[in-house]
Structure 1
Amino acid sequence: MKQLIFLTTTTVTALVSLSFLPNPSLAAQLLTDHHKNQTSVLISDAPQETVTEQKVVTRAELAKILVDQMQLEQRPNAAKPDVSVPDVPQSHPAYQAIQVAIKTGVMNSYRDGMFFPDQTINRAEGFAIFAQADGLFPLYFPFTAEGILARYPDALEIPNWARKGVARALRNGFVNVDPLTNQIYPLNPMTQADIDYALRQYRVLRRRS
């Protein structure tokens, strides 16, 4: 609506200015060109979220991102023998990353050792895993998980198993909290944009540590 009002106001101004031209057809053409230019400026200047940023992340994709970006393969446990994961054969594109994520304790398999690589994750699970992966910034007194979570109106939606991890992620600034409502949206799907934000904050902390 804001863009529509801006365009209308600009168009009216242009009409007034062009009305003094002696050639009506020239005025009409100039007005058309003016409208196109204004529209293209507005579109190019407007912030736009890409399809990639809104892509929902799967468990396999998260494992690969964390291994690649946090160098998990350099941790001691990563050299242990591979574990059996029935639904992630060696031919799976993310096999090595999933093996590293499991062996380092960053991610866990589910019942019967299944990993469910194509299963999407929500923000609570994703940020809890991210906090587990960072390995550098645990909670220290006087900060407690419940004390941190109490500041967020939708924190009760976070599952018990993820509460400490999400609290660590919040404390370290990894979570892109809604600036207007201060909500975490823990049950929303985790997107590539969420991961990118967390990684940027992680790199800042790494440089400071």
Structure 2
Amino acid sequence: MNAPWLDWLPMLLDGTLITIQVALLSAVVSIVLSALAGLGSLSRYAVVRLISRAYVELFRACSLLVLLFWVYFALPFLQIELSKLMAGVLAIGLNIGAYGAEIVRSSVSAVSGGQREAGIALNLSGTQRMLRVILPQAAVRMVPPFGNLMIELLKSTSLVYFITLSDLTYEAMVLRNNYYVWTPYIFGLLLLIYFLISSCISLVSRLLERRLAVWR
């Protein structure tokens, strides 16, 4: 008996598109939060440093699944109701952004003090030193760990299955219920699709790292 591949592919394709959408939107949220919290942790203002560190410590320590449940199921009691997509994006973005903030902070801190002194000698303002001298060099260091973090983000999107968002994992579970005897093949396809998307992220990360290294 042949596996009904043609019946599976439309559902898996729909789920893949939702997974990619969640991953892309979550990546935007997490990168913005990473930059704000990472640079905020190095601010000369104590209040900004405190807020940034509190965000990092809180959301790194929080289980992503529990955070997802809280955003989707608890916020409506506070009169804040989000769609399944936005709840997933917000929860994943907050969690991954906390890890990304440490990448930004450590990468900026790793730029030698001599570079900062050179910027001062050139009479550059603090903002100009950060944008023109420090961040371009720190960006080269950030790319590899951020590439790994984006792969972790992709894998985290599978948790939106628990709030019944029709992502790739959700569609695979529906297929499993309908075609139980083909479970190994269905989950084999699921693994393959996640692997292919992760490989694309790795490729983009390597190309970006190479491009930045050449520019440097």
Q: Same fold (TM over 0.5)?
A: no
Q: Which has the larger radius of gyration?
A: 1
Give the TM-score category using the shorter length. Answer: under 0.3
Q: Which has the higher contact order (CA 8 A, sep 6+)?
A: 2
Structure number having the greater helix percentage: 2
